[in-house]
Structure 1
Amino acid sequence: MTSNIFEINYNGTGKSQNTNALGMREMQARVYEKRASQYLLVKAPPASGKSRALMFVALDKLTNQGVKKAIIAVPERSIGKSFQTTELAQFGFFSDWVINPKNNLTNRGTSESKVSQFINFIRSTHPDDNIMICTHATLRFAFEKLNDSDFDKILLAIDEFHHVSQDDNSVLGNAIRNILGNSSAHIIAMTGSYFRGDSVPILEPTDEQKFDKVTYTYYEQLEGYKHLKSFAMGYSFYRGRYTDALSEVLDTSKKTIIHIPNVNSGESTKDKYDEVDRILEELGDAKFDENTGLWLVTEENGRVLKIADLVNEEGREKVQEYIRNMSELEDLDIIIALGMAKEGFDWPFAEYALTIGYRNSLTEVVQIIGRVTRDSSNKTHTQFTNLIAQPDAQDDEVMFAVNNIMKAITASLLMEAVLAPNFTFKRKDTDEQKSKGTDIFIKGLKEPSTERSKNIIQNDLNDLKATILQDTQIQQAIAAGVDAKVINKQLIPRVIMNSYPDLSNDETEEVRQHIVAQAVIQSAEREEGTNGNQFLRMANKFINIDEISIDLIDEVNPFQRAYEVISKEIDAPTLRFIQDYIDGIKFTFSEDELIMLYPQIVQFRTENGRIPDKSSHDQYEQRLAYALLRLEQLRRERDNG
């Protein structure tokens, strides 16, 4: 039985699918407004039309902005088809998007020959050599053979930009940094993810500040669909083999993508082919179709399911070819995959994603969700479900289970963040200032005092929220039920300081208040009061939206609900083990945290006339007390030097 962490309903306005006089959807028009930017970062969910948005901007740069060539780099060959020749003029734009077949390097060929073709394209003066599609790998290898200046007056568009990293070992990241710093290239970065799964930032803050940003949220995308009205994210625990639990979570009437567990995960049997066989056996009587490469599975009721196996390498090309060419609803029922059918994969009819075991990368979770959140006439609801091995407190590998639960909580919170509308918060100075729609007035809220903090608040809160949700200490605090004030006033500021080391204390606090306000408001359940006023349920009580203060917000843990939902399904001994483990590491401090906490300790002593007490029932005071003890220990170590 699947328990949903949340379900969100949408109004189906059709706005995100409608086009303007130039043939652009809402998101594409928003990007086109920024077409003059030399560096542009586009963050938008799958199916929002990022590839066509790039076409519009690239054609304008080639025609009107003095750019000589456009290079589009995609993470894998299959995604190259998104940028193939496309008719645009018939819908109102001034030109079509035309790719010379020899400049599409995502077709078959050796890596060495593609690098040579890339270099020849860069140096060619032929008028038809103005647009090229290649993979990230080809770009990396070619970059090592070129000078930074070879990219002068060239538009470099990086699709799925979250593959880039500022890590020293990231060749693609180094290439982007060098091209940014040492050439006159234009760069468009596109991603459907707000974060990398490995927590390594995509760009240095100083580099990212060079980019103009266009953000189009999941909420805007799904709210503007015509057919899809709701989306839910849930989980189900199992014991024993996951294949034995499939009947409880699978609805074969739904167009489904099943992702089996990574072979290195605890849920895997270590034999991926056997897992596919067992899934087929659970579904019915399976027969292989040589013509299509599909499995035809007859259920007990006589219905025949068409199933694509993307796990087995043998015959995969035939299956992929079938999937590429299918167009009708009845062409396919289920896909079974491991590393495929995620990023850039297009099956609009898909309405149910079943993922067995948690992935290391939360980016991967978002990408999988993106496969089923496309608008299609066959569905009004779409579902993402994680099937998870229930942890056993007696198991030596219980630590892995703890880690998986942390990922579950983080994933749920992330999706709550990106699926909710963005609010605009303003300081409330008079009773006449009333909240309306997404504009909310908050008593005591600090307004941004500098352009730097204002820019972060206006453009970076989703990114920052994703970074906060990936922070290990915050994940542990969520699961442990750590006091809201500790999370909001101590742990979150540390993440902000790490993300933006150039901020002053005042700027950090301004950003902190806005990020916490957004997290709290978005996670609160809205209900209408009997007197017609809008209320938010916060900390299990209803608060008039016009009475909210920043002090009240800091008392609310916006992350606790996800853990409470999951904890209902885990037995008491396991839950107690997890709680004890997390309590054991609750009060650890980095040097930066101690520096940040010291002013709070001083403020506490000033306000209360005593130092914080470690035996206090208030976790905020407890944490200050342990921080003070650690500071005193460090002082003694220094004095004894």
Structure 2
Amino acid sequence: MTSIKKPINIVDVTYARTGASVNTDSMGMREMQQRVFAKRDAQHLLVKAPPASGKSRALMFVALDKLYNQGRKKVIVAVPERSIGASFAPTELTKFGFFADWEIKEKHNLCDPGSSQGKVGVFVNFLNDPSAVTLVCTHATLRFAFEKLAPDAFNGTVLAIDEFHHVSADTESSRLGALLRDVMNGSDVHIVAMTGSYFRGDSVPVLSADDEAKFTPVTFNYYDQLNGYQYLKSLGIGHHFYQGRYFEAIGEVFDLDKKTIIHIPSVNSGESTKDKIEEVGRIFDVIGEVVHTDPVTGIHDVRRSDNGEILRVADLVDDTDQAKRAETLHYLSKVASKDRDGVDVIIALGMAKEGFDWPFAEHALTVGYRASLTEIIQIIGRVTRDSPGKEHAQFTNLIAEPDASRGEVKVSVNNMLKAITASLLMEQVLAPNFTFKSKKNGDDTPAEPGQLKIKGFKEPSTARVKQIVDTDLNDLKATILQDDTFAKAAVGSLDAEQANKVLIPKIIRERYPDLTETEVEELRQQVVVDSVIKNGEIKTVGDKRFVKMAEKFVNIDELNINLIDSVNPFQRAFEVLSKSVTPSVLRIVQDSITSTRVEVTEEEALAAWPKIQQWAKLNGRPDARSENPTEKRYAEIVLFLQRKKQQKAAAQKAAQMVDEA
């Protein structure tokens, strides 16, 4: 086996291990569950909290209160996969101080084997049976049942939808989204929606703005969760770039001493050989030699080639024998999730992501860029569960380097940049939250803990902007980072003023068309300030604190909005890229971006013109052949304005000729 290389980590966060997020109160509730229970009277509740924070039990607490104290008659819990249904099995809550236990009759657990369509009759009978109280089913069963029911059949019920990001505002592609809207509009249903990731920037929004406004949000952020653990101390998120076939490079970052989940690429991706079974075999070869396979569980015993130790490996990719794979999944959920020695490596393709519980997992090794931020969050969540003996968790994305000699260079460049920007977003999600206040002249009062005062900063002036800042800021950043324009930022060719004053406001207006220009500016400042501060390294020297911005440290007491606006909030993408690849690969990336550069807009040109004039006074006319990306862009803008001027002159001349005729 090749020597282990440490992946290039973009994110490396250390936490305090306060125990706050896992300790329970007199009713047996964790910190997150207490927050949710405090909002239990809301008719429509939206819970956004990380994997392993206890969303399933939070739902039990709220649902039981709605049954006993709010006049609800039934609770329906819908999960995306049958395996996740185990999270809602009967649970004793009274022994920890709560007033009732969570109970599910076996016949109303519709997550057992069998088709979803075949369970519709049980679902309908449940609704019609006055003595039936709780039911667990898959999203698919809920959809099939709804085809047989009118919306008012859900009167008196609580409908809980787990992994809520499966819903979509696109009614053409998401039958679950359409169902939800019909039930909300056609019954008195109470809804509890839960998700470990709510990045609507992935593609289509989960909810329309009007529908989302009907929900009461409860947000528990990733920093609070991880900082409050007992055992897990640090988390790394990084990349390893390879050439050739991934299974020839995977040994460079596959640490056999770590409990590892490997996700191989989809057969539709460029990284795949189109033979998933052969790829798994090559990964087995990296580990060593298969010496035994359990005929019941399907777990393989593999003797390591480096030291002779036996590793227990689960293959969830081979689906030729569905019954055997079902036995392997059963073993993983019942045995390996509780016994540290039950399994050492899991190899998967589409499985072992959301809701999969293997608390001992330390390393998520994912091959190929994942297009969905939600999927990345879910995979990282497999290794961030708190477990005795686990101090560090690692997510490594194995990404193909662009090769100028191959035809898919643009695809490779795009995948690389998207993977890096996704990690940059995760860096901000996992960092401690700050609150920002405007610093008035003569204000010498010290900032509160976790607060920064900034001269010229516009604080949110309306409830709408405050709500977006409190619950939606990471989603907005996801939209901004995934905008194609920001590929230019990743190669260092996007001017800070263009990013902050033109592009970010444009995306905000598109995302929130109901905002006024004043609200857009307040939100723009919040995004830029939050991003720049979280990207910056903070140091304490004596009694003063300094933040690193654009390669220099600035006294936090002297921060002002103009200084922050002079920093490209996404310049870290270029720093990461330039450190991660060779100069020749970096040049391939830059050339690829340049060849697909978007047209200049009038908005960008008008914003850049004063800076171009200043540049020309000092350096002369900007040259389109310059190696300086800023000068090159200025030259393109000058050419754009010249064309506009010529077009305007031609139009005026034509109009004059018409008048004279």
Q: Give the TM-score band, short-chain normalised.
A: over 0.9
Amino acid at match of 1:319: T
Structure 1 position 394, deviation (Å) = 2.0
Residue 48 (structure 1) aligned with residue 59 (structure 2): no
| 1:420 alignment counterpart | 431
Structure 1 position 296, deviation (Å) = 0.6
Residue deviations 1:533-570 (CA, integer Å, cap 9, x gap): 11111111001111111111111123222332233332
Residue 299 (structure 1) aligned with residue 304 (structure 2): yes
State which of 359, 364, 380 in structure 1 corresponds to 2:391.
Answer: 380
Structure 1 position 637, deviation (Å) = 10
Q: Secondary structure at the match of 1:319?
A: helix
Separation in 2 of the partners of 1:162 and 1:40? Answer: 14
Residue 247 (structure 1) aligned with residue 251 (structure 2): yes
| 2:290 alignment counterpart | 286
Deviates more, 1:613-622 or 1:107-116: 613-622
Conservation of the 8 A alpha-carbon contact between 1:196 and 1:361: no
Residue 233 (structure 1) aligned with residue 237 (structure 2): yes
Q: Secondary structure at the match of 1:180?
A: helix
Amino acid at match of 1:518: D
Conservation of the 8 A alpha-carbon contact between 1:197 and 1:364: no
Amino acid at match of 1:150: A
Q: Percent identical across equivalent pairs? A: 54
Amino acid at match of 2:165: H
| 2:265 alignment counterpart | 261
Question: Mapping of 1:55-66 within 5 angstroms?
Answer: 55-66=60-71
Amino acid at match of 2:34: A
Structure 1 position 467, deviation (Å) = 2.0
Conservation of the 8 A alpha-carbon contact between 2:502 and 2:607: no
Residue deviations 1:361-386 (CA, integer Å, cap 9, x gap): 22111111000000000210111111
Separation in 2 of the partners of 1:623 and 1:517? Answer: 29
Separation in 2 of the partners of 1:484 and 1:119? Answer: 58
| 1:551 alignment counterpart | 562
| 1:5 alignment counterpart | 10
Separation in 2 of the partners of 1:549 and 1:505? Answer: 21
Amino acid at match of 1:539: A
Q: Secondary structure at the match of 1:360?
A: coil
Amino acid at match of 2:283: I
| 2:122 alignment counterpart | 117
State which of 434, 437, 444 in structure 2 corresponds to 1:432.
Answer: 444
Question: Mapping of 1:617-636 within 5 angstroms?
Answer: 617=630
Separation in 2 of the partners of 1:602 and 1:562? Answer: 26
Separation in 1 of the partners of 2:266 and 2:495? Answer: 35
| 1:503 alignment counterpart | 515
Separation in 2 of the partners of 1:14 and 1:138? Answer: 38
Separation in 1 of the partners of 2:214 and 2:10? Answer: 38
Amino acid at match of 1:185: V
State which of 352, 359, 364 in structure 2 corresponds to 1:341.
Answer: 352
| 1:324 alignment counterpart | 333
Question: Mapping of 1:187-198 within 5 angstroms?
Answer: 187-196=191-200, 198=202
| 1:365 alignment counterpart | 376
Question: Mapping of 1:600-611 within 5 angstroms?
Answer: 600=607
Structure 2: which 5+ residue stretches go unaligned?
Answer: 624-629, 656-661
Q: Secondary structure at the match of 1:372?
A: coil
| 1:491 alignment counterpart | 503
| 2:586 alignment counterpart | 575
Conservation of the 8 A alpha-carbon contact between 2:164 and 2:193: yes
Conservation of the 8 A alpha-carbon contact between 1:614 and 1:626: no
Deviates more, 1:544-553 or 1:147-156: 147-156
| 1:411 alignment counterpart | 422
Conservation of the 8 A alpha-carbon contact between 2:489 and 2:570: no
Conservation of the 8 A alpha-carbon contact between 2:537 and 2:548: yes
Deviates more, 1:579-588 or 1:46-55: 579-588
Structure 1 position 635, deviation (Å) = 7.0
Separation in 2 of the partners of 1:7 and 1:614? Answer: 44
Separation in 2 of the partners of 1:276 and 1:585? Answer: 37
Separation in 2 of the partners of 1:386 and 1:575? Answer: 18
Separation in 2 of the partners of 1:626 and 1:49? Answer: 57
Conservation of the 8 A alpha-carbon contact between 1:480 and 1:582: no
| 1:390 alignment counterpart | 401
| 2:659 alignment counterpart | none
Amino acid at match of 1:450: T
Structure 1 position 148, deviation (Å) = 1.9
Residue 224 (structure 1) aligned with residue 201 (structure 2): no
Residue 562 (structure 1) aligned with residue 549 (structure 2): no
Structure 1 position 632, deviation (Å) = 6.4
Separation in 2 of the partners of 1:637 and 1:36? Answer: 66
Structure 1 position 79, deviation (Å) = 0.4
TM-score norm. by structure 1 comes to 0.93
Separation in 2 of the partners of 1:602 and 1:175? Answer: 51
Separation in 2 of the partners of 1:263 and 1:248? Answer: 23
Conservation of the 8 A alpha-carbon contact between 1:292 and 1:318: yes
CA gap of 1:172–1:632, structure 2 versus 1, over 3 A, is: farther
CA gap of 1:598–1:141, structure 2 versus 1, over 3 A, is: farther
Residue deviations 1:114-140 (CA, integer Å, cap 9, x gap): 122222222x2422x121111111112
Kindly tell me the number of residue pairs found equivalent between the two proteins.
Answer: 632
Amino acid at match of 1:311: V
Question: Mapping of 1:45-194 within 5 angstroms?
Answer: 45-122=50-127, 124-127=128-131, 129-169=132-172, 170-194=174-198
Q: Which has the larger radius of gyration?
A: 2
CA gap of 1:374–1:147, structure 2 versus 1, over 3 A, is: same
Separation in 2 of the partners of 1:619 and 1:548? Answer: 31
Conservation of the 8 A alpha-carbon contact between 1:614 and 1:625: no
Conservation of the 8 A alpha-carbon contact between 2:37 and 2:61: yes
Amino acid at match of 1:398: V
Separation in 1 of the partners of 2:635 and 2:38? Answer: 51
Structure 1 position 461, deviation (Å) = 1.2
Structure 1 position 202, deviation (Å) = 0.6
Structure 1 position 78, deviation (Å) = 0.5
Residue 204 (structure 1) aligned with residue 212 (structure 2): no
Separation in 2 of the partners of 1:68 and 1:634? Answer: 70
Separation in 2 of the partners of 1:190 and 1:236? Answer: 33
Q: Secondary structure at the match of 1:78?
A: helix
Conservation of the 8 A alpha-carbon contact between 1:480 and 1:583: no
TM-score norm. by structure 2 comes to 0.90
Q: Secondary structure at the match of 2:211?
A: helix
Conservation of the 8 A alpha-carbon contact between 2:77 and 2:135: yes
